[in-house]
Amino acid sequence: MRIALTVNGESLEAEVWEGESLLYALREHMGLPGSKNACEQGECGSCSVLLDGVLVCACLVLAVQADGHEIVTVEGLGSDDALHPVQEAFAMTGAVQCGFCTPGLIVATVDLLARVPDPTDDQIREALSGNLCRCTGYAKIFDAVRMAAGS
């Protein structure tokens, strides 16, 4: 089935299998592998994207449901020349170890700071509770969010 959607500001069309997730469509049909594929059940948050401005797990959205809608992935946040302030903060604070959870955490942090520009630690913890880091990097991730909030 053919779907047409806006991804990172660009109108795209893709031929998708009816049962596939938005995550699969982004990664395999639209050349956007930034959103990571791990648990495929909404537990890990590594596929977090914005759907019409709302933070969601792309693995739990049917690709066809995104037809006619607007998606922002981690690729749409900054460029190679100018990182997004949240990306910059994650790099500066060393909030990255293996890097697999990083795209999801960055999208979730961008979503948090758009709603709550100066979050408390509890608000950060709550906002990132759906994003798992298995390298135990949470302390640095907190540093990164605080730095991005201050920038």
Partner 1 sequence: MEVLTPQTLDEALAMKAERRDAVPIQGGTDVMVELNFDRARPETILNLNEVAELRGWGRDNGTLRLGTGLTYAEAMGNGLASLLPALAEASRTVGSPQIRNRGTLGGNLGTASPAGDALPPLLVYEAEVVVASADRGVRVVPVARFLTGPKQNALLPDELIIAVRLEPRDMRQTFMKVGPRNAMVIAVVSLCLAIDREADEIRVSYGSAGPRPGLVTVALDHAWELTELVARDASPIDDVRGTAAYRVHALKVLVGRALQRCLT
Residues 6 or more apart whose Cβ sits within 8 Å of residue 136? none
Q: Is the separation of the CB atoms in 106 and 77 below 8 Å? A: yes
Distance, CA of 150 to chain centre: 21
Sign of CA dihedral 67, 16, 130, 85: negative
Of 15, 29, 31, 141, the closest CA to residue 75 belongs to 31
CB of 15 to partner 1, least distance (A): 14
59 near partner 1, judged by CB under 8 A: yes
10 near partner 1, judged by CB under 8 A: no
42 near partner 1, judged by CB under 8 A: yes
Q: Which of 31, 91, 121, 126 binds partner 1 (CB under 8 A)?
A: 126
Residue 92 or 123: the one with the smaller Cβ distance to partner 1 is 123
Positions in the binding site for partner 1 (CB under 8 A):
1, 17-19, 21, 40-43, 45, 48, 54-57, 59-62, 64-65, 67, 108, 111, 126-127, 129-131
